[in-house]
Structure 1
């Protein structure tokens, strides 16, 4: 009987040691791999005035063709509470090539700061292009693009703040919606 107890005790100790060693090894490897979701990079003055064009630092947005740096106003718009929603919502494909209408968009770069983040558009005479969209800490962001409009929506805790840029049958215009 004591021989059986010695075998059971030895098996329990060796199994416990093996499990502890395995857990420690996996834990030490996995501890360095946990990460938060990537965030959009903020726009800095150095980025806007860089002399040779650099490749984009983030894949969630594209840069417009290089234009001569000009100061542009950065209005902080008021949020009207009217409904404004695009007809369909298809996620943006950041790898797709710009359409001819988008290539004509190079013009006035304007930034809009809303609750939830900041959106920057390159607004031309007949079209617009999204330069960047940066969510604030704790906010989620989603972008939709279509041939005649762009929508950027920031969400957090059931709140939704959208920035729309439309140019169907009119010059590009920016609207805001908060729900």
Structure 2
């Protein structure tokens, strides 16, 4: 009995030491790792103000630039909860697709599908994937080569693919639902 207890104690100490040493090694390596920051496209003040103009409908969540509103003198923390929730509720009005934005590199276009949204930066000779965001309940997979980009959204048996090719001319985008 004493010999078995001694073996369990030795095994526990050895395992604890191995786990601690492994954690310390991984933590040290990961702490020194530099990650590339997410790529963000620059917006000018005129783009932000023109997209938030009075004649345009308010953007739906996830579309257009994110502009943080500045608090007005009339808004106060003592406002009633009903007034706060009414002003914070997003508008469900029908919105028209935003016009493509032109960047120094090209034109940024968004493609909304049932599976999610793909944003591409299109130039005259190639395309760059800006983002691929799946809708709720969907997963995303991306393939890139020197002459095409493929983004697949999947949910159960449903599939949506966004293809962008530029091997024989300017970039072309094709959306297919399976």
Band the TM-score falls in, shorter-chain normalisation: 0.3 to 0.5
- The answer to which structure, 1 or 2, has the higher relative contact order (CA under 8 A, 6+ apart) is 1
Answer 1 or 2: which has greater helix percent.
Answer: 2
TM-score by length of 2: 0.45
